[in-house]
Structure 1
Amino acid sequence: MQTSPLNPALRHTLANGLTVILHPIPLTDAVTVDIWVRTGGHDETAEQLGISHFLEHMVFKGTERLAPGALDQAIEGRGGITNASTGQDYTHYYITVASADLADSLPYLTEVVTQPAIPAVEFDRERQVVLEEMRRAGDSPDYLAHQSLLAQLYPDHPYGRPVLGTEDSVGSLTPEAMRDYHRSRYSPEQLTVVVVGGIDPGRNAGADHPTTGPSASGSCPIFSADA
């Protein structure tokens, strides 16, 4: 991250191992929050191939309390945007909202990332979406050329495998396996939350700002110092 010496990014590591990076931009009325997870295709076994990308999809399918699509509705209903992507070494989820909406929007993002329900019905439905995405990619000469190059450059390394997985590997994944993968890979010490834009660092770095979430308990585990 490029920052000015007069306006440096602030880095905090919470007691639970979560890293928070704050970069205030004065006179900006928008904020982007990006949650980076230190996991991706590189971390998958042969049997798990494609699970990181599939999990990225399932995060948007709700929690025990939030219905599928609740994050999109909460953010886009305020005029914001939300998206995610998966690579070999990372998965990340981000929102961009008006600064005034940060306190109400952030808890939705943190809850879906840290507490996805991964329900079986949604899992089976989304599997078809992922498989169709793979088929579309397979019709792209650019994608095929890129994958062929990676396979030749890294023949015996995870970088040579497709992040999307294969039809066989994705077809064999189960909700239980994905929940286990999430529990093992999405722990606080493997997460970095980057907040950039119109924020007050003194307030946003405090324990009382993004700790409260939309959950009934009022806690947001990735920001809780006791998590």
Structure 2
Amino acid sequence: MPVWCQPRPASTSVVALVAIRAGSRHETRSNNGISHFLEHMVFTGTERWSEEEIKEVITRRGGEWNGWTGIEDTMYYAHVSAEDLDTALDWLAQVVFHATLPADKVAKERQVIFQERWGRYGWLINTLDRLGFGYELDRDVRRALFPGSPLGLRIAGEDDSLEHIDRAALLRYYRQRYVPANAALVVVGNVVPDRVMERAANFFAAIEAGEPLPAPPAPAAANGTQRVVVRGPMPTDQVRLMIGGRTVGRTHPDHWALDVLAEFLEQSLTEAIRYRRGLVYGLQAYNVTFDDAGYFVIATSAERDHRPAIVDIVESHLERVQSGDIEPDRVAEARVALRGRWALSMEDNLERATWLAQWVWLTPDDDGVRDYAAQVDAVTAADLSRVARTYFAPERRYFGVHEPAVTVKSGARALGIAAGVSIAAWMVRRLLGKAATRRA
């Protein structure tokens, strides 16, 4: 198990984080949601501790703990005072590698997960989705860009798959995935690297290493511009827009230029659409990266009638960037904003540990992690023009829109009409009844 350590002598705390190569991308339709289910289960009991004791080990020292499941990883962390490093490592070793998955907790956690998913309505959501009345625009964009890939699976799973995941299935997945050969430890804070290595060996070295699992196959890419439309219910009449293109994975050299392009476009489009025209409240641009794939997003919400104007402005800005019509000063502003935001986030030990964990599977050691600020500073206006031409080419483009079929306004109108029809029918029946009585 690789152990990465980043000392921060000015800090008074330490974060110890274990990343497991287990996420929705490693699942199939039949066991979709098992990574997230297992994340719940490891907190229900270990070889030494009960569910209640697991929660108390860290909190009674004033620390924080949690876990989360993503598309490519599941992560567990303990954030404690620097003097409590041993407590954090001991806790992680127990929770991650010595969980017992108690049989009497499986049904309870399944119920908790259904509540987390707002109940057992997956059949209805999926039926509406097939009819074009979904609401998960982000997921439908991934499905269109990477057809047939597990990247399109829900992290929390589906009703049917969750109902069929039993303790035996959880144990098989746990024994396959939750082994040191498929894990990494990242420690950030007021620590000494040699001591971290020595203490990590004390708590983790005796655990059977297991077999490293191969990376999932790269997702097949769709060809041609993808148009994604969903028509799920929304509280307002606003449409949600997503415009972008299929990009590249985390280690690709263009990753950094795409980050700068996103910041550049967010600033310029916000100025043009929000401040000059007042067509939207906010707008975001960002590049989503996986290990070996990615996609660029320009997203906003607006009144339905404003959609054509917004799309025209976005397309004109993209064309200007592609043609090289870029002010160098604006590129410099984008670089400064990215560096500043990254510097602020890296003040947090957990944010820094999570950032490092994204790279642990992709580089041989922590020395291979690129200097974010240096990489961003190296991006030029010519780079932005080049990546815009490359990744916004027609064969990589997508256009996504969420057009609400039912809103509060339209629903109230429909209810009003229905109530009016009901009242009219009731009055007609009463009048006809009175007429019949008089004739009698």
TM-score by length of 2: 0.43
Matched residue type, 2:138: H
TM-score by length of 1: 0.80
SS of equivalent to 2:51: coil
Q: Could you say which residue in structure 1 is the equivalent of 2:171? A: 179
Separation in 1, partners of 2:139, 2:179: 30
Equivalent of residue 114 in structure 2, options 131, 147, 151: 131
SS of equivalent to 2:200: coil
Q: Deviations over 1:67-98 (max 9, x none)?
A: 01323211111111111111111111011000
Is 1:104 aligned to residue 87 of structure 2? yes
Q: Deviations over 1:116-170 (max 9, x none)?
A: 111111111000001111127989xx97232333233333110011111101101
Task: Please report how far the alpha carbon of residue 226 of structure 1 lies from its aligned counterpart in structure 2 after TM superposition.
Answer: 6.8
- The residue correspondences of 1:42-191 to structure 2 (distance < 5 A) are 42-135=25-118, 144-191=136-183
Q: Could you say which residue in structure 1 is the equivalent of 2:205? A: 223
Q: Deviations over 1:179-201 (max 9, x none)?
A: 11011111211111000001111
Task: Please report how far the alpha carbon of residue 100 of structure 1 lies from its aligned counterpart in structure 2 after TM superposition.
Answer: 0.7
Q: CA RMSD in A?
A: 2.2
Runs of at least 5 residues in structure 2 that lack an aligned partner in the other structure: 126-133, 210-440
The answer to whether the Cα contact below 8 Å between 1:71 and 1:109 also exists between their aligned partners in 2 is no
Q: Could you say which residue in structure 2 is the equivalent of 1:8? A: none
SS of equivalent to 1:92: strand
Number of residue pairs matched by the alignment = 198
The answer to whether the Cα contact below 8 Å between 2:25 and 2:71 also exists between their aligned partners in 1 is yes
Separation in 1, partners of 2:73, 2:2: 15
Structure holding more helix per residue = 2
The answer to whether the Cα contact below 8 Å between 2:29 and 2:153 also exists between their aligned partners in 1 is no
Matched residue type, 2:14: V
What percentage of residue pairs aligned between the two structures are identical?
35
Matched residue type, 1:101: D
Q: Which has the larger Rg?
A: 2
Separation in 1, partners of 2:207, 2:26: 27
Matched residue type, 1:120: A
Matched residue type, 1:224: A
Separation in 2, partners of 1:119, 1:164: 21
The answer to whether the Cα contact below 8 Å between 2:16 and 2:88 also exists between their aligned partners in 1 is no
Separation in 1, partners of 2:61, 2:51: 18
Q: Could you say which residue in structure 2 is the equivalent of 1:194? A: 186
SS of equivalent to 1:97: strand
Task: Please report how far the alpha carbon of residue 103 of structure 1 lies from its aligned counterpart in structure 2 after TM superposition.
Answer: 1.1
Equivalent of residue 22 in structure 2, options 27, 39, 64: 39
Task: Please report how far the alpha carbon of residue 54 of structure 1 lies from its aligned counterpart in structure 2 after TM superposition.
Answer: 0.5
Matched residue type, 2:183: L
Separation in 2, partners of 1:225, 1:109: 13
Separation in 2, partners of 1:78, 1:186: 27
Matched residue type, 2:151: Y
Relative distance call for 1:106 and 1:149 in structure 2 (3 A) is same
Task: Please report how far the alpha carbon of residue 211 of structure 1 lies from its aligned counterpart in structure 2 after TM superposition.
Answer: 4.1
